[in-house]
Structure formats: C-alpha cells, structure tokens
Amino acid sequence: MPDQARDFGNLSAVSIECGLDFLYAKICRLKPLDRPLSRNSERQYFLWVAVFALTLVIVGFARTYFLHRFFKTPDLSLFIHTHAVIMMGWIVLFVIQTLFVRWRRMDWHRTLGYVGAGYAVLVVTMGSSATFIAARREVRAASAEQGAFLTVLCLELTQMAMFACLVALSVYSKHRPAYHKRFMILATLCMLPNPIVRLLILLGVTENLTMLTVWAVFVAIIVAIDVVKRGEVHPAFAFGGSAIIGLLYSAYFVSITPLWQALATRAVR
C-alpha cells in the first residue's frame, strides 16, 4: 500500500504539470514543453537568482537591521531578531540549495529539502505574526499611520499565502525539476517586496503602488531572462508569475477599501 500511494502521488504530480504544459501549449499554440534548458546554463541562472535575492535582502535591510548600530537606531527586540533570523534563513537556505545543485550533490539537496519544507512553515508563521503585531500596535495606539499598517497587513498576508502555496507546489513537483526550481524561485520572490520597500524609502519613494510596481518589474525581468535562455516561457513562470503579480496588485486595491480597513481594525484589536 505505501508503494501504491507513493506511485499515485507521483503520477498525480506529473499529471498536474503535464496539464499545465498542455494548457500553456493550447493558449500559445506551441508544442508541450519537452526540452529542458542546458544543465550548466540552467544551474548558472538559478544560482545568480539566488545570489541576487541574498544581495537584495542584505542591502535592503542594512540600515534598519544589519548595520542599525552604525545609523544610531534604537535597539531591536528579541522578536525582531528572531523574525530576521528566520526570514534570512530561508534566503540562505535557497542559496545553499542552488549551490548543492551546481555541485551536483543532489543527495545533499534532497536531504536539506525535507528540512526546507518544514522551515517554510516557520517563515509563514513568523512573517504573518510580525505584520499582525505591527498592525495591532498601531491600531491600539490610534496612530495616524494605522491605515498604512493595515494596508501592509493585507499585502504581507497575501505574500505569505502565495509563498506557502508555491513552496507546496515546488515540493509536489520535486520529480519534475524544471517546475520544482521555478516554483521555488517564485516563492522566494514573494519575500522580496520587503527589502525593495526599504531601499525605495531611502530614495524617497513612499507610494505603495510604486513600490509594488518595482517588485513586479523585478519578477518580470527574472522571468524574461529565463525566456531568453530557453527561447520560450516555462508554464510554471507563465502562470505562477502572472498569478503572484496579479494577486499582490489585487491585495493592494482590496487593502485600501473601507471594508478591509474596518474588518482588519476589528481583527487586530
């Protein structure tokens, strides 16, 4: 029975991914994808994406976290340090996993992958609780900024929901590496609005819609590089990339409605 269940699960995963291939082919009038990008080129691409994500996080949070003492900002709480370690840990894990693939240590990659699947639960828990606590603090203090924090609450909860779904899809697609890796990239991209926001604030940009658009451009560029290398867009990027951009824009427009502001205010009190 366990073997049959495993076989059924593998077959289901392949069926879903083949369905994406077929749907994509119908929409774009192309053959279903059956040729992968050359392995060396693909490994290099994924490694550079991972390094980009790591660099963006370090630079984005340099002033408010990594180098906060140099900028004479107040001491940070234990909760903030815990939040930073967990969220940064995912980015480091992502880089390590891409290195294992580049070094052809797939046994290490698979072993660490099981840890990563569980670690993703910590990321979602910490990411959701941090933004909830921040919104509650502002609402209870009747702060003039509480509306902005409730908007951020909607956006970050959406980010965490997308992250969770994409990690689940990546794990489910572990026997189809092309899907597995691209779903994991998209999951990690869902965490990157936060450092982008910090950098844009330093540049004097404070409009949420502008910040969201900058993040969407980054996502589009990463997908476009893959398209140039492959000569076609992979279904995981075509549908997944469109979904995360569309959902986060939708979350923004929902977050500024009086209905959301009222419901969120009541929820965080």
- Residue 137 near residue 129, CB atoms below 8 Å: no
Asked if residue 15 belongs to a domain, the reply is no
Residue-wise pLDDT tens digits, 60-91: 999 999 998 898 888 899 999 999 999 999 99
Contact 119, 89 (CB under 8 A): yes
User: Smallest Cα–Cα separation from 139: which of 125, 123, 126, 152?
Assistant: 152
Is position 98 within any domain? yes
240 neighbors 166 (Cβ within 8 angstroms): yes
- Report d(CA 11, CA 4) in Å as an integer: 10
> What's the whole-model pTM score?
0.86
**Dist. CA 239–CA 137, nearest whole Å:** 37
Q: Report the pLDDT value the prediction gives residue 40, as an integer from 0 to 100.
A: 76
Residue 177 counted as domain residue: yes
Tell me which residue of 4, 31, 11 sits closest to 235, measured CA to CA.
31
The answer to whether residue 139 sits within a structural domain is: yes
The range of the structural domain enclosing residue 146 comes to 38-268
Whether residue 59 lies inside any domain: the answer is yes
pLDDT in tens, 158-214: 999 999 999 999 999 999 999 999 999 999 999 999 999 999 999 999 999 999 999
Whether residue 146 is contained in a domain is answered as yes
- pLDDT, one tens digit per residue, over 220-255 is 999 999 999 999 999 999 999 999 999 999 999 999
Residue with tokens 């997944």: 240
pLDDT in tens, 25-44: 444 444 444 445 566 788 89
Name the domain count of the chain. Answer: 1
Pairwise CA distance, residues 256 & 87, whole Å: 27
| Other Cβ atoms closer than 10 A to 228 | 8
Please indicate, yes or no, if residue 4 is contained in any of the structural domains: no
Cα–Cα distance for residue pair 165/177, rounded to 1 Å: 17
21 occurs within a structural domain = no
What value does the mean pLDDT take over residues 102-124? 95
Residue 4 confidence (pLDDT):
46
